[in-house]
Each structure stands twice: as C-alpha cells, then as structure tokens.
Structure 1
C-alpha cells in the first residue's frame, strides 16, 4: 500500500494542475462594448469585426482595430473602451458600395509608438492616421513617391464629405480604394515609422511626437 501513495499523490497533483489550466484557458475575460440598437444595420457585425489587436508596451492597455475605429481598452475595465478614435467615419455613407467591391472586408492593422502616447493605423488612398492620446489631436498623412523624396515633409491631408472643398482637401468620392495601407510599424525606441502601401514600403521620420 505504501508503494502506491507516491503515485496517488502525483496523480492528485496532476489533477489539480489540470483543473487549474482548465480554469485559466476556459474562463476568459470578454471585452465588449454594448451596441446601440438604434444604430444597428446590415453592416454592423462586419464593421465591428476586429482586424487587429495589440498590447501596449506598458502592458496596461489593449488596442483593437475594426473597420471604422480604433479603440483602447483598460485591462481592468472590460465593459467599454476608454478611448475611441474615428479612422474614416466619412465612409459610413459608402458602406453599400464598399460591400459590393469587398473593401469592407479589408483588415487594417494598428500600432503604438514607443511610449504608447500615439496610435497609428492605415486607411484608403494610401492615407494613414495618427492619434495623439494626450492632446487628442489627429492627423491624416499620405504615403506616396513624391512624399518619399529625401527631406520631403509630409503635409496633413483632409477628406471632404460634401459641398465645396479647399485646395488641400480631397473629396470622399475621389478616394482610390485600391490604394490602401493595411500594415504599419513603429520603431520601438526611435521616431521612425514604416507603412506598406500596395507593393511599396515607405519609411518616414515621424514629426507628430
């Protein structure tokens, strides 16, 4: 009988470990923002699907990207995001055509800067967006061969929804949806960013921070 005790003890320990692992893997925390029923449409589930998720460098926050927004979540508060950034809200009126040409299924990535103070993500027309979490300012920039020349300064771009547009603005109807920035990267310690536009890779010295 005594010879069976060590094996029984080992079996009990393994059962406890197995039970602990089951609790760890099968009791997830669900981060979800309740949807306003009045805003629900045929496209709601599609545009709310998460295409990318990133932990902040500090480990305190999670950033998610869906079709129209970037959201920042506090790990201690799963019932709603603490920050929501509109990436290209002007496309809401274009969801039907974006569904027909399959663009609505594009998967955009998002990225933090080294200090978690600025968020970057891509859009259409080779545009990419930056959001400063401290100042709440945002900017739209364009990746193009003209802007990739040595010492070239990226100029902010604006998308005009309707009516008269200024010289530096582009109409939402003129956006090229075949040109899209799905992949972005930010150097972990330097103020350098990389964006992939179709078959081109652009590297810029960022001036937002």
Structure 2
C-alpha cells in the first residue's frame, strides 16, 4: 500500500511537471485489491507526504487517511466498476481540452489512436464531480482506454499507473498534432481510416519485448 501511494504521488507530480495540470486540477488513482488510493481534493501534490495516504473502498467509503478524496471520486469509481482498470489518470491538458471544445471525437490524425482502442470520443459536458459526468465518461470509454471530457480535460486508464499516464501523454500529443495540422489556412490534414487504425491495433498486441 505504501509503495502504491508513493507511485501515485509521483505520477500526480509528473502531471504538473509535464504541464498536464495547473495547481490542484486533475487527479490520479490506483486500485490495490478492493481499496482505491486517490489524490486528495485541493492539496498541491508537492505537499503530499507518505502519511497523507487517502483510500476508499469500491463503494466510496473512506478507509484510509483523514484528507478528503478528490471531488472526481465518482468518475474514478465508475471506471473501476465498469472496466478492469487498475489505475486512472485525469488531467486538464491544454491541447486535449481545446480539442474537446471543437469536435465530438478526435479525428484519426495518428495511428497511435489504436493504443487507446480506436477513435477517441468526447464525453458530453456535465458538472465536475457528478454522477452525470461519470456516466458520460463511461459511455465515451466503451471499448476504449481513454476519452476527452468536453470543456474539461482527459481521462485514461490502464493496468498500471505508468500505463495510464503514458496513455494520457499520448492523447495530449495527438490532440496537439491535430490542432497544429488544422491551423494551416487553406488545407485540411490527411486522416487515417478506422480500418488502418484497427490494423495498427492488431500489430500493437505484439509490440515491445517478450515477458
């Protein structure tokens, strides 16, 4: 549990260092058994210490720590309930948030969309911390490991904090590429087909080193 908390804090701090969040915006969680460790609400990540651990059960009841959990807890718990996620990263990344205000799905600008399950959808806007937002996110995540939140930010999940974070970084990068390509007057970016992205998805199954 202590190691998981340390990794969670390190991941949260990385979202700030990499410019994916400002101040205390965004949040990170990791599931350890039937306990979900989550960043607390309103506390700068650089102030978090080992004794500040915050944990809830899968029903949202606090079982560890005295700091209040993130206001986005309903969204995190909904993802754990509906998927096999072991970690969730939510950010207010600049380019991804900008894209979320322009389209209903991120155009297929790059084949690495396959790493998120295909074309990334935009969850309709709802007030932060609400069950409505959690439900909108689940619909946008169906069959995928990442989505955009309209006028809000990003959410990705994975089998580990490092995987969830890498997916967030990849999503922000794709949004930045699309915005850059779309900004040239008189032209439109070439997009990939769903079939081309699906083919990459198959190839990614065997990507990396064995074992």
- The question of a shared fold, defined as TM-score above 0.5 by the shorter chain, is answered with no
Which of 1 and 2 has higher RCO (CA within 8 Å, sep 6+)? 2
Q: Which has the larger radius of gyration?
A: 1
Judging by fraction of residues, say which structure has more strand: 1
* TM-score, normalised relative to structure 2: 0.27
* TM-score, normalised relative to structure 1: 0.27
Judging by fraction of residues, say which structure has more helix: 2
